[in-house]
């Protein structure tokens, strides 16, 4: 299978760089995408990015990655804590999914302490800011080695 990693970003991540910068940092989603493209190339991978505020589109993108992508990096945003549909979609596909969150969700409000994604993901990376995406790419490269 090709070394394509789908990087899926959920609600409000299009506002990175301007939204709650004390929590999410000052990098924009475009900045993160550029860093991921560079790092992926260094690791012999390629990346496809998608951002949506729509839960159903994330489900569709997960389904589309199945059998086509080497892996998925998923930052489901707030849907992480509420979406049984995303849980089921991750569980249903055969490609590994790495969950990423910019902030340490376990150091925030209680309702953010439960992830619907983590139990069915290959792994979770939280609290390292934009570097979390790069750590996820490294983890995926290591899993493929």
Residue among 106, 128, 107 at smallest CA distance from 115: 106
Active-site option among 6, 24, 79, 87: 24
Unique residue bearing structure tokens 């790069």: 134
**CA quadruple 5, 11, 16, 21: dihedral, nearest 10:** -130
Residue 24 annotated as catalytic = yes
Using an 8 Å Cβ cutoff, are 7 and 47 in contact?
yes
d(CA 142, CA 136): 10
Residue 63 annotated as catalytic = no
Residue among 77, 66, 65 at smallest CA distance from 117: 77
Q: How many CB atoms lie within 10 A of CB 26?
A: 12
d(CA 24, CA 33): 15
Active-site option among 6, 87, 101, 133: 101
The residues assigned a catalytic role are 24, 101
């Amino acid at each position: 299978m090709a070394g394509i990693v789908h990087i899926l970003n959920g609600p409000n991540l299009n506002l990175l760089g301007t939204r709650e910068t004390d929590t999410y940092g000052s990098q924009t989603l475009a900045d993160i995408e550029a860093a991921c493209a560079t790092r992926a190339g260094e690791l012999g991978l390629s990346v496809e990015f998608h951002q949506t505020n729509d839960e159903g589109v994330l489900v569709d993108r997960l389904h589309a990655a199945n059998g086509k992508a080497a892996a998925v990096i998923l930052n489901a945003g707030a849907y992480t804590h509420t979406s049984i549909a995303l849980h089921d979609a991750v569980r249903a596909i055969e490609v590994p999914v790495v969950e990423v969150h910019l902030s340490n969700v376990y150091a925030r409000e209680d309702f953010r302490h439960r992830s619907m994604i983590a139990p069915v993901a290959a792994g979770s990376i939280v609290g390292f800011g934009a570097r979390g995406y790069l750590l996820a790419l490294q983890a995926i490269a290591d899993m493929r080695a």
